[in-house]
Amino acid sequence: MTVEAHKETLEFKAEVSQVLDLVISSLYSNKEIFLRELISNASDAAEKLRFESLTDEELLEDDPNLRVRVLVDKDAGTITVSDNGIGLTRQEAIDTIGSIASSGTRQFAEALRAAQGEADKDKASGDALIGQFGVGFYSAYIVADKVTLVSRRAGLTAEHGVRWASDGRGSYSLETVEKPTRGTEVILHLKDGEKEFLDAWRLRTIIGKFSDHIAIPVEMQKEDVGGDDEAKEDEDKEKGDEAKEPKFEQVNKGTALWMRSKAEISDDDYKAFYKHISHDFEEPLAWAHNRVEGTNEYTALLYLPKRAPWDLWDREQKHGVKLYVKRVFIMDEADKLMPHWLRFVKGVVDSDDLPLNVSREILQHNRKIDTIRGANVKRVLGLLESMARDEPEKYQEFWGEFGRVLKEGPAEDFQHRERIGGLLRFASTHIDEDTQSISLDAYIERMKEGQKDIYYITADSPAAARHSPHLEVFRKKGVEVLLLSDRVDEWLVSHLHEFKGKHLQSVTKGKLDLGELADKADQDKAEQAAKEHGDLLKRLKGSLGQRVNEVRVSTRLVDSPACIVVGEHDMSANLARVLKAVGQEAPDMKPILEVNLDHPLVKRLEAESDQAKFDDLGLILLDQAQLAEGGQLDDPAAFVGRLNKLMMQMFMSGV
C-alpha cells in the first residue's frame, strides 16, 4: 500500500453542515452530552478492537489494556478524548467522519428533507426533529469551533496515521501523519464561551453521570483531577524527571455490574449498585436480574425500593429505570420501560439491539422496547408474587409503601388485571385492625356456602367503612366485607369487576342480592312488609321529595333505622365525594333511602299523624343516613335546626 502523504480539503457530503447547525442550536441546553458521545465512540472503538483481537492478537501491539483518556489543556483551550481502540484508516475517516453515513445523522437529514416539504426549516421543527435522532461525533461542535481527529488503524504502521480537521462549516482537511500509537484522538478547540469545560472536575462529574458503567475504563490525568496545583508542582520538582511522565487514574467505575454473571455478584454488590443508581440511602427490598438472549438481547436489573420516595404522588414523578445500550448510558427515567403503575421500580435495562442514538421519541414506537417493557412488568409481578408467597411480612412492608400505586394497575393494564388482583391487599371485616392485609384469594377461601360475590364497601375513612350500616346484615350472616377507604379504591373497583370468576359487588349499590345466602323467609317478609307498609313509604317519599329517587324497605339493616343506597349502575356516593373533593364534576345523584321496618324509630314515625312532624323526622332520617356513610349534608344547618326542634319537643313533653 502506498501512503498518500498529501493534504487535501474535501467538502462534507450531503447536508452535514446543515445538520451541524441544527445540532448546535438544538442541543445548546444539553451541551455536556458531547462528552458522552465522544467517550461512547471511543469505547465502541475499544470494543471493536477487543473483538477483532480475538482472531488477530497482533492488533493489540504491545498495548493490550484498552482504555479511554480525557485530557484537558488549559493553555491551549482544548479537551482531548483519546482511545487505543481500533482507529481509522484515511478512507474510513472520509466515509464515517466526513460523511453523514452514521445512522442517526443520516436519518436526521432524511427526516429534515421530508419535513421541508411541509414547513419551513425553522428552528422549531429542527428542535422537534433533533430529539428523534442521535448526534454522535458532530455533537463536538456544540462546544468546539474546531475539531481535530488524529487516528491510526490498529495493525497499520505509524506512518499511516490520518489527521482530519474541520470547523464544521462545509469542508474538512485531511492529511497523512505519523501516529506511533494506535487508536484515535479527538481534540476539541473549545469556543470562547465554553471554557467552563476546561475544569477537570466538571468533566469528571459528567463522566460519572453518563459513562460510569461503560465497561472500558475512562482515565484522566492525575494532575487534572487533583486540587492543589502548586503543591503538585513542588512534588514534581522533587521527583525530577520521573514525575514528568503523566499519571492517569480511572474516573469511572469501568464495570457494568449488570453484565457480570449472577454467580459473581454478591448481595452486597447488588445493594451498593442500587444505592448508586437510586440515590437511596436504604437498601433495596428485592431485585431481579435477567439476561435475555435471542432476537432482542438485553439485560434487565430491576429493584424494588424499601421506602416510597417523597414524590411518588407527583404526577411528574421521574421513572426509575435507566436505559443503556451496549453498556452506554442513554437516558434516565425511561418511562417507556416501566408503566406508570410500577413507577417505583428502579434499575437498568441494557439493550444490545437498540441503536445507540435512540431517543425518547423513538422509544415511543419501538417494538423491542414494547417487548422489554412487557417482560419487565412480568418480572416485577413475579418478584412480588414470590415475595407475597414466601415472605408475607416483607410483602406487607412493600404493600404499606406502594400498595396504593399498585392499585392503579388494573385500570392501566388490562392484560395483567388478574395477576395484579392477586397481589392486592385490603382491610376487611374479618380482622379488627385497619391494616390492608387480606388478599382476594384469602377472601374467596372464606366465602360462605352459596356466596357468589366478593363484597366490598368504599368509604372515605377506615372507620366510616367499618361502621357503615350497610354491613349490618353481612355481620349478622357472618359474610366478610372488604373495607376500601383509599382514594384510589374507587378507581380500582371501577376497573376490577371480577377476580377468578367472582364478581366484585359493592354493598351500597343496587338491591341487595345475597343470592343463596339470603334467607327466603326474610325475603318474603320484606316483600310482604313493603305491601303492608306502602303508605309509610309513599308518605316518606312525599316528605323527602326531590332529595331521593325512591324509598324502599331494607333487607340489609339490623341496628340502624335507615341507609342510603345508589342504583346498581350509578356512581357510588363515595366516588362522587372523591371527585368533588378534587374539584371535578360529579353528577348530582339522587339516592335511594332504605328503611328498617323493625326499628323502633321507624315504627314511631309510621304512627306520627302530625304531618309537619312527620316531614321533619323523615328528613332527619335521610340526613343521618347520609352522615353515617361519611357523606356531607348540603344544608347541615337545616339538619341541626330540625334536631334541636326535636330535642326541645322531647324536653317539653317531659321525656
Contacting residues toward ligand ADP, per CB under 6 A: 37, 41-42, 45, 83, 85-86, 88, 96-97, 102-104, 134, 136-137, 184, 356-357
Least distance CB 8 / Mg ion (angstroms): 25
Residue with cell 471554557: 195
- Dig out the grid coordinates for 571 from the structure: 356512581
CA distance 251 to 247: 13
Q: What stretches of 53-102 show up as alpha helix (H) in DSSP?
A: 90-92
In the bound complex, what is the minimum distance in angstroms from residue 40's beta carbon to ligand ADP? 7
Q: Which three cell numbers stand for residue 183?
A: 487508536
Q: Which does 97 bind (CB under 5 to 8 A by kind): Mg ion, ligand ADP, none?
A: ligand ADP
Residue 42 binding: pick among ligand ADP, Mg ion, none (C-beta 5-8 Å cut-off by kind): ligand ADP
Q: Which residue is nearest to ligand ADP (CB)?
A: 136
| Nearer CB in complex with Mg ion: 210/287 | 210
Q: Which is nearer to ligand ADP, 149 or 536 (CB)?
A: 149
Residue 88 interacts with, from Mg ion, ligand ADP, none (CB under 5-8 Å by kind)? ligand ADP
Task: Tell me how far, at minimum, the Cβ of 328 lies from ligand ADP, in Å.
Answer: 9
Compute the least distance from the CB of residue 48 to Mg ion, in Å: 12
Q: Which is nearer to ligand ADP, 85 or 421 (CB)?
A: 85
Mark residues 22-41: x for contact with Mg ion by CB under 5 A, - for none.
Answer: -------------------x
Q: Quote the least distance from Cβ 364 to ligand ADP, whole Å.
A: 20
Grid cell 508542582 in the structure block, residue:
233
Q: What SS3 state is found at 551?
A: strand
**Of all residues in this chain, which one has the CB nearest to Mg ion in the complex?**
136
The three-class DSSP label of residue 359 is coil
Closest contact distance (angstroms) between CB of 302 and ligand ADP is 27
Q: Distance of CA 201 to CAs 224, 234, 235, 336, 351, Å? A: 8, 22, 21, 33, 30
Q: To the nearest whole angstrom, how small is the minimum distance from the Cβ of residue 414 to ligand ADP?
A: 37
Report CA torsion sign: 101, 103, 105, 108: positive
| Nearest Cα to Cα of residue 65 among 204, 200, 186, 215 | 215
- Closest CB 43 distance from ligand ADP, rounded Å: 9
In whole angstroms, the minimum distance from the beta carbon of 218 to ligand ADP comes to 13
Decide whether 136 or 155 has the Cβ nearer to ligand ADP: 136
Length of the chain: 655
With binding defined as CB under 5 A, does residue 184 bind Mg ion?
no
CB-wise, 18 or 102, nearer to Mg ion?
102
Q: Which of 435, 442, 474 is nearest to 456 (CA)?
A: 474
User: Considering CB distances under 5 to 8 angstroms, the limit depending on partner class, which of Mg ion, ligand ADP, none binds residue 421?
Assistant: none
Amino acid at 389: R
Which residue from 87, 98, 126, 136 is in contact with Mg ion, where contact means CB under 5 A? 136
Nearer to ligand ADP, 112 or 573 (CB): 112
d(CA 625, CA 591): 11
Q: In whole angstroms, how far apart are CA 86 and each of 38, 64, 233? A: 15, 12, 35
Which residues, in sequence order, are CB contacts of 550 under 8 Å at separation 6+?
A: 541, 592, 593
Residue 83 contacts which entry, Mg ion, ligand ADP, none (Cβ below 5-8 A, type-dependent)? ligand ADP
Q: Kindly tell me the burial class for residue 607, based on how many C-beta atoms sit within 10 Å of its own C-beta (0-12, 13-18, 19 or more).
A: exposed
Alpha-carbon span 115 to 122, nearest angstrom = 10
Helices within 119-182 (DSSP H only): 123-130
| Residue number, 189 or 599, with CB nearest to ligand ADP | 189
For Mg ion, the binding residues (CB under 5 A) are 41, 136
